[in-house]
Amino acid sequence: MASLSRFQKYAALGIGTIGGAFLFYKNVYRHEEGQGQVLTAWTTNFTPSVTWDSNWDRRDPSSMVKPMKIKNEEDENKYNEKIESRKSKATRHLILVRHGQYNLQGTTDSERVLTELGRQQADMTGKRLAELAIPFTTIVRSTMARAQETSKIIEKSLGNIPVEDDSLIIEGAPIPPEPPIGNWRAEKYYYQDGARIEAAFRKYFYRADPSQEKDSYELLVCHGNVIRYFVCRALQFPPEGWLRLSINNGSITWITIRPSGRVSLRVYGESGHMRPEAITST
């Protein structure tokens, strides 16, 4: 998880001409009718089936500044300064952990506590996060019993980090899945849970505020459906596909949001730190 990307390795080897080559290409090789826009993938005129919404979090600098009439160069400079002041400088990292295996026979939340294996999974995950030496700024816990128990076990390995509880990230049914599942569920559950889980996504997933100077790392200990939905939304995949993603108990998912608003999934459902016999997905 902490290994360098191919691009980072190239940069470490001193291959810095890639950036210069790109700028040269962008300035020289243009669309005939594209007003200076570089072709997708540099060398083709491929048209993507979907395009990335750069203002997905409604925090793109151009949407944060009130439009103004540009009458002269001074007005344009003032407007550009305002745009520049709204640009993010830091990267936000969201590390999502699913709770450990729990008592499926429980009929109430208080009865759905971790099994012995679930507690072991949480302990292994806590130790793995400690090994990664991630400078967590905060831990956010679902208020459900299994997530609370999982987080408290993890916290023992991470030391003194501010902790918050949030009922927005409890488990639920985010949106009717596609393709449909065989089990019938009343539409009201999706109607209620979906709005809450979407609200949680909007609360935690966004590019850094311009006032944020340093990169931040937030740990959210929550649930499988919530994490799957978050991943689909963050990557701008069809959210109805959330049920196609399997996720193990105690696994780690890492999403990075760059200052530009670009989002990358660094790892999904990582459970390689566990013994093979300890891996479950129930």
When pLDDT is averaged across residues 21-39 and rounded to a whole number, the result is 42
Mean pLDDT, the chain, integer: 87
Please state, as a whole number, how many other Cβ atoms lie within 10 Å of the Cβ of residue 233.
21
As a whole number of Å, the end-to-end CA separation of the chain is 24
Closest CA to 219 of 120, 115, 147: 147
Residue 226 to residue 173: CA distance in whole angstroms: 8
Residue 88 to residue 95: CA distance in whole angstroms: 20
* Residue 103 known to bind ligand: yes
Instruction: Decide if pLDDT at 12 tops 60.
Output: no
When pLDDT is averaged across residues 128-148 and rounded to a whole number, the result is 98
* Residue 183 known to bind ligand: no
Please name each of the domains of the chain with its CATH number. 28-85 (no CATH), 92-278 (3.40.50.1240)
pLDDT tens for each residue of 208-219:
999 999 999 999
Instruction: Decide if pLDDT at 33 tops 90.
Output: no
Please state, as a whole number, how many other Cβ atoms lie within 10 Å of the Cβ of residue 85.
11
* Residue 101 known to bind ligand: yes
Contact 150, 99 (CB under 8 A): yes
Predicted local confidence at residue 39, as pLDDT:
56
Predicted local confidence at residue 77, as pLDDT:
87
Instruction: Decide if pLDDT at 65 tops 60.
Output: yes
Cα separations in angstroms, 98 against 8, 107, 168, 250, 274: 29, 20, 15, 5, 14
Closest CA to 166 of 111, 223, 212: 223
Residue 257 to residue 205: CA distance in whole angstroms: 8
Tokens of 59: 């925090």
Q: Which of 35-44, 106-115, 181-190, 256-265 has the lowest mean pLDDT?
A: 35-44
Residue 238: helix, strand or coil by DSSP?
A: coil
Q: Which of 109-123, 180-194, 255-269 has the lowest mean pLDDT?
A: 180-194
Higher pLDDT, 137 or 74: 137
Predicted local confidence at residue 37, as pLDDT:
57
Predicted local confidence at residue 38, as pLDDT:
56
Q: Where are the beta strands (DSSP E) in 55-137?
A: 92-98
Residues with Cβ within 8 Å of 238's Cβ and at least 6 positions away in sequence, in order, are 178, 232
Residue with tokens 């991470």: 158
* Residue 77 known to bind ligand: no
Which backbone phi and psi does 87 adopt, to 5 degrees?
A: -80, 140
pLDDT tens for each residue of 82-109:
999 999 999 999 999 999 999 999 999 9
* Residue 146 known to bind ligand: yes
Q: Which of 21-25, 95-99, 108-112 has the lowest mean pLDDT?
A: 21-25
Of 9-23, 55-69, 177-191, give the range with the top mean pLDDT: 55-69
Residue 190: helix, strand or coil by DSSP?
A: helix
